[in-house]
């Protein structure tokens, strides 16, 4: 693998972002709106709920982490969609670029764009709504890591899906975080869910993050083993997502879809 | 040794044989025309040489390097320009040359980009987005990109299709210069038989995925009792069986 070529995929995205307000704006806009909306909601809840429970770290912190996850996933898929939208597959895949380098470039792009988003979220949550990440202690690091890894896996999987189904299928990708959120208990404990949903929850790494976050707020210990399990699960999902991407790419090479991608299918 | 060697290449889509046992080569400092009617298998052949389409059978080597077992190394010695594949319109001329130059791992890239901008008269478009350029200007950018890595093998799929005669002539001159200045070879597809006759050293006529004829474009028509290359092309397109060799 060549880091030079990987960084070229990132450079292409930076060129696009640098010159485009419509690309910069979404990096911050929706997460900013979410922070403000949930910030005021949690403030309101703090005034009407029984004294002693602080909704800010429980709800606003959870929303912030969930938005971070969403940005990571979208960071990968949007970088991929840029090549879809500009019909660039033939140009880019007819170069010496390896598929592993291409996917690594998408991931690296996502890290940079989501860090920018995270920074804005932290500013709003900390300075406007007094959310202190010190409340979570060092556990914030494994929390972010698990969400980051799982976001990467879903981003790669989503890109693979669009590579397989064609440009119009990008609309399948946007709702994925919303579809997953009820299962992982972003805003409520998993015990609230019916039994079958709890089974699904257990194989989704973010579940352990949000359960851990609530445990900290209640002053209970967080299971390090469960977080390690969550991180291990995320690595498995990244591996599987990458294998699926490579398999679909190779299938597209056989079918001719890479060269005729705008046709959406070769049948 | 040939720069490009294609042996028994075969591609099947479902029940359709798009390329059927094609073999040919491109030598150093040689421009080879790959001719044939629409759907003959020219672009399918080029896609396989570019490594974006996997053949059902056959092998392709570039500078003796097999493109399937050493894809990155072999593809690094090629480049291409095709009328149906414009560069991303949302990047400027300079940005596109920089991105593709890096993907081909070009040394002294900044210097190479300046050479190409000068050579293809792109200075005034340097910071313009490719999407707003005219089709002729986009073709020049695409050709500049195709030469960014000084490729040993240049694949040109109808490079002059959208150009006015004067610009098309300039492009042909650039391709000639590319051949004369180095040891590269060119595989060229075109439907303009006058252009092919002027620029190609050798041509192959492809029909229904098979090579029917091969030879010097200046002498080939007479060898098949036709007055011009265009007449021969029409005969290949309409009555390929009457021309089949062997």
| In this structure, CATH architecture of domain B1-77+154-246 | 3-Layer(aba) Sandwich (3.40)
- Domain layout of chain B by residue ranges: 1-77+154-246, 86-150
| Structure-token pair, residue A13 | 């995205």
What burial class does residue A11 get, using C-beta atoms within 10 Å of its C-beta: 0-12 exposed, 13-18 middle, 19+ buried?
Answer: middle
**CA separation for the pair B88, B104 (Å, rounded):** 17
Relative to beta strand B57-62, strand B4-13 is antiparallel
Over its length of 246 residues, how does chain B's per-residue pLDDT go in tens digits?
A: 789 999 999 999 888 899 999 999 999 999 999 998 888 899 899 999 999 999 999 999 999 999 999 999 999 999 999 888 889 999 999 999 999 999 999 999 999 999 999 988 899 999 999 999 988 889 899 999 999 999 999 999 888 887 888 888 888 888 888 888 877 899 999 888 888 988 999 999 998 899 988 999 989 888 888 888 888 888 877 766 565 554
On chain B, the residues whose CB falls within 8 A of the CB of A12 are: 91, 95, 99
pLDDT at B232: 86
| Structure-token pair, residue A15 | 């060129």
**CA separation for the pair B149, B116 (Å, rounded):** 11
Give the Cα-Cα-Cα angle A54, A60, A63 (nearest 5 degrees): 145
CB contact under 8 A, A86 and B103: no
Bigger pLDDT: B117 vs A38: B117
- Domain layout of chain A by residue ranges: 3-263
**CA separation for the pair B236, B213 (Å, rounded):** 9
Question: HEC states along B129-160?
Answer: EHHHCCHHHHHHHHHHHHCCCCCCEEEEECCC
For residue A140, how many other CB atoms are within 10 A of its CB?
Answer: 17
- Band of pLDDT at residue A116, cut at 50, 70 and 90: confident
The chain-wide mean pLDDT, for chain A, equals 87
Tell me, yes or no, if B99 comes closer than 8 A to chain A by beta carbon: yes
Among A254, A259, A260, A262, the strongest candidate for a mutation testing the B interface, having the largest count of B CBs within 10 A, is A259
For residue B29, how many other CB atoms are within 10 A of its CB?
Answer: 15
Residues 182-241 of B with CB under 8 A from A: none
**CA separation for the pair B34, B15 (Å, rounded):** 24
pLDDT at A96: 95
pLDDT at A55: 76
pTM: 0.89
CB contact under 8 A, B82 and A90: yes
pLDDT at B246: 42
Summarize pLDDT for A187-245 with one digit per residue, the tens: 899 999 999 999 999 999 999 999 998 888 888 888 888 889 999 999 999 999 999 99
ipTM value: 0.89
Checking phi first, is residue B33 left (phi over 0); if not, alpha (psi -120 to 50) or beta? beta
Instruction: Name the residue among A50, A231, A210, A61 with its Cα closest to residue A133.
Output: A61
Rounded to the nearest angstrom, the minimum Cα separation between B94 and chain A is 11
Summarize pLDDT for A65-109 with one digit per residue, the tens: 898 899 899 999 999 999 988 889 899 999 999 999 999 999 999
**CA separation for the pair A257, B89 (Å, rounded):** 21
pLDDT at B243: 59
- pLDDT > 90: percent of chain A: 47
CB contact under 8 A, A250 and B54: yes
Instruction: Name the residue among A202, A206, A200, A190 with its Cα closest to residue A143.
Output: A206
């Amino acid at each position: 693998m060549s880091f030079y070529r990987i960084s070229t995929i990132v450079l292409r995205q930076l060129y696009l972002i640098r010159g485009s307000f419509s690309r910069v704006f979404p990096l911050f806009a929706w997460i900013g709106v979410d922070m403000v909306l949930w910030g005021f909601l949690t403030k309101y809840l703090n005034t009407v709920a029984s004294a002693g429970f602080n909704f800010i770290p429980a709800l606003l912190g959870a929303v912030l982490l969930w938005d971070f996850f969403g940005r990571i996933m979208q960071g990968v898929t949007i970088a991929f969609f840029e090549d879809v939208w500009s019909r660039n597959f033939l140009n880019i895949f007819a170069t010496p670029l390896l598929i592993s380098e291409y996917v690594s470039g998408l991931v690296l792009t996502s890290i940079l764009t989501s860090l920018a988003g995270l920074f804005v979220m932290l500013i709003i949550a900390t300075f406007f709504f007094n959310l202190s990440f010190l409340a979570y202690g060092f556990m914030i690091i494994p929390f972010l890591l698990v969400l980051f890894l799982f976001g990467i896996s879903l981003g790669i999987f989503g890109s693979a899906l669009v590579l397989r189904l064609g440009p119009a299928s990008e609309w399948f990708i946007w709702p994925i975080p919303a579809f997953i959120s009820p299962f992982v208990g972003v805003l409520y404990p998993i015990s609230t869910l019916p039994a079958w949903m709890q089974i699904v929850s257990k194989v989704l790494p973010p579940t352990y993050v949000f359960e851990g976050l609530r445990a900290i707020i209640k002053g209970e210990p967080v299971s390090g083993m469960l977080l390690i399990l969550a991180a291990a699960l995320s690595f498995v999902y990244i591996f599987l997502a990458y294998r699926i991407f490579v398999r679909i790419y190779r299938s597209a090479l056989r079918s001719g879809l890479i060269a005729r991608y705008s046709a959406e299918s070769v049948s | 040794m040939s720069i490009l060697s294609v042996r028994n290449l075969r591609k099947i889509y479902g029940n359709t044989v798009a390329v059927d046992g094609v073999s040919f080569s491109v030598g150093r400092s040689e421009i080879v025309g790959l001719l044939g009617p629409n759907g003959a298998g020219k672009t399918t052949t080029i896609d396989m040489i570019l490594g974006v389409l996997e053949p059902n059978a056959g092998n392709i080597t570039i500078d003796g390097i097999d493109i399937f077992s050493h894809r990155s190394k072999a593809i690094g010695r090629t480049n291409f320009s095709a009328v149906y594949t414009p560069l991303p319109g949302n990047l400027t001329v300079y940005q596109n040359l920089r991105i593709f130059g890096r993907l081909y791992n070009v040394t002294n890239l900044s210097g190479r980009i300046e050479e190409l901008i000068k050579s293809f008269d792109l200075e005034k478009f340097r910071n313009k987005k490719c999407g707003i350029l005219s089709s002729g200007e986009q073709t020049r950018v695409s050709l500049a990109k195709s030469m960014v890595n000084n490729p040993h093998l240049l694949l040109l799929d109808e490079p002059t299709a959208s150009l006015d005669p004067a610009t098309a002539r300039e492009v042909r001159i650039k391709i000639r210069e590319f051949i004369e200045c180095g040891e590269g070879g060119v595989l060229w597809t075109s439907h303009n038989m006058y252009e092919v006759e002027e620029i190609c050293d050798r041509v192959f006529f492809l029909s229904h995925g098979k090579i029917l004829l091969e030879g010097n474009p200046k002498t080939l028509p007479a060898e098949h009792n036709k007055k011009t290359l265009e007449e021969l092309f029409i005969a290949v397109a309409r009555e390929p069986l009457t021309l089949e060799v062997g």
